[in-house]
Amino acid sequence: MLRRTVLLFTITAKHIEIGQAVRSYAEKKTAKLPRYYDRINRVEVILDGDKNGNVSIEIIARAEHNKVFVVKETQENPYKCIDVAVPKLERQLRKIKGKEHEDKRPEIA
């Protein structure tokens, strides 16, 4: 069964100015998340700058049945934050998909 859903993408910046390049980079990286868990329908990316020049990112992926997956990361620049946070979220999604797949398998008697 092939499932096609529209992925809603939101990016918010707090205490930091981000350009269109960062926005499109974040959208491009998170657009691949439904490959790992096809029930995702919304992704929120929140970037927050601090006084020391570090950037924190929080990526929130929301799926059907009120499932929420959250990843937080702090790095020197927004690109590095995205590059470190997205694989963490991919791991979470692969893990939950594997658990759901195991639950559907019939036990061999």
- Predicted pLDDT at 38: 87
- Predicted pLDDT at 103: 63
pLDDT exceeds 80 at position 2:
no
Length reported for the chain? 109
| Residue 80 pLDDT class (50, 70, 90 cuts) | very high
pTM of the model: 0.85
pLDDT exceeds 60 at position 7:
yes
Give the pLDDT confidence of 12-61 residue by residue, as tens digits. Answer: 999 999 999 999 999 999 999 999 988 899 999 999 999 999 999 999 99
Q: Percentage of the chain surpassing pLDDT 90?
A: 71
Q: State how beta strands 8-14 and 55-63 pair.
A: unpaired
Domains in the chain, CATH or no CATH each = 8-104 (3.30.160.100)
